[in-house]
Amino acid sequence: MRVGQNPAKSLAQAPKPRPVTAVFLTYVPYPSGYYAQSLQVFQAALESLHRHTDEPVDVLVFDNASGPEMRAFLQQAHRQGRIQYLLLSDRNLGVVGAWNIALQAAPGDIIAYADSDVFFRPGWLAAARRILETFPRVGMVTARPFAAAPELWTATRAWAERDPEARAEWGPFVPWEVFYEFNCSLGHDEAQIRAAYEQARFLRITYHGVTAIAGASHWQFVAYKRVLQEVLPLPYNRPMGSDVRNLDRALNQRGYLRLMTPEPWVDHMGNTLPAYARAFLGTGSATDRPASRSGPPRWAQWPPVRKVLLALYHRIFRLYHPGA
């Protein structure tokens, strides 16, 4: 039997979600080894989002079974109102499994997704929305140009070459410094990056006075939720690997445009806190972005040795974290 009336009935108005939901996916099982700086990296990502976004947004975080240190930070940020929606999984569902929940749970009409190691520059959202709201049938917009896999934006190229209102140009439209900076954050050495840059071909498209580069990626994008709902839930078998491209493939197969901003408005930090992010958080001196990133010694990069070491690393990781 009910006793009394629910006090919530006296509320005169229920707040509505903001038009844009920023979605993060986090996973920091322990604060050591590969993940030693991952919590600080996400702190920089969240802080840069709040300080450099030019309109109010809601923040949704899906945590993929992180350890207690990351969970404590997320819960504190939620209590402080820096995260509006916090989803905590008791097991690691993998990237695509998390997307299937988080991207459908996000309430905004526009979803701005980012991996937990993305640093946002001032004006990033306005730059991405300008493309999203000008070009027709846009699937996703990534706020940084790079050499996106051409087989994942065939629909974009086909549209650009047939639409009389679109001006398509091939050329070296991504400066070397921008290209190098992104690929360096992935752990590639300069020789690899130089070889890739010499082979890269960029398609620049101008439509109704707005310019974009063909291509996009799942690591950071802005998209309409109604478009994402057409392809969700996505199939997957592995936590990472090639399955993370299923979103890119699905949008391309449905004929949606996949575009990038001509200038870099976001940065990929990786699993170590760059100098510019340390300065941003007040934990280091202000410097330019690092020109290089240290990696394993040359002997450890020899394919047979690399294969053995990574297999050993995987076995140790599974031993201590069987549910990950």
Q: Binning pLDDT at 50, 70 and 90, where does residue 23 land? A: very high
More confident residue, 114 or 14: 114
Q: List, in order, residues 6 or more apart from 182 with CB less than 8 Å away.
A: 144, 146, 264, 267, 268
Q: List, in order, residues 6 or more apart from 301 with CB less than 8 Å away.
A: 295
In this predicted structure, what is the pLDDT of residue 12? 67
In this predicted structure, what is the pLDDT of residue 297? 66
Q: Is the pLDDT of residue 133 over 90?
A: yes
Q: What is the CATH number of the domain that holds 44?
A: 3.90.550.10
More confident residue, 239 or 176: 176
Backbone angles phi, psi at 88, to 5 degrees: -115, 115
Q: Residue 25 corresponds to which amino acid?
A: L
Residue 280 located in a structural domain: no
Q: Which range of residues forms the domain containing residue 52?
A: 20-268
Could you tell me which of 162, 171, 127, 163 has the C-alpha nearest to residue 259?
127
Give the pLDDT mean for 40-53. Answer: 97
Report the chain's mean pLDDT, rounded to a whole number.
89
In this predicted structure, what is the pLDDT of residue 236? 84
Distance CA 24, CA 303 (A): 33
Number of structural domains found in the chain: 1
Residue 174 located in a structural domain: yes
Residue 281 located in a structural domain: no
Out of 22-31, 150-159, 184-193, 245-254, least confident range: 184-193
Burial grade of 74 (CB within 10 A; 0-12, 13-18, 19 or more): buried
For the record, the structure tokens of 203 come out as: 């398609």
pTM of the model: 0.85
pLDDT tens, 164-198? 999 999 999 999 999 999 998 888 888 889 998 99
Residue 120 located in a structural domain: yes
pLDDT tens, 206-225? 999 999 999 999 999 999 99
Q: How far is CA 303 from the centre of its chain?
A: 29
In this predicted structure, what is the pLDDT of residue 294? 43
Could you tell me which of 167, 154, 175 has the C-alpha nearest to residue 257?
154
Asked if residue 28 lies in contact with residue 67, where contact means CB atoms within 8 angstroms, the answer is: yes
Asked if residue 309 lies in contact with residue 300, where contact means CB atoms within 8 angstroms, the answer is: yes
Q: Is the pLDDT of residue 288 over 60?
A: no
Residue 323 located in a structural domain: no
In the numeric block, the tokens 């050993």 are attached to 312
Q: Binning pLDDT at 50, 70 and 90, where does residue 240 land? A: low
Q: Binning pLDDT at 50, 70 and 90, where does residue 283 land? A: confident
Q: How far is CA 60 from the centre of its chain?
A: 13
Residue 291 located in a structural domain: no
β-pair partners for 202: 171
Distance CA 243, CA 235 (A): 8
In this predicted structure, what is the pLDDT of residue 186? 85
Residue 321 located in a structural domain: no
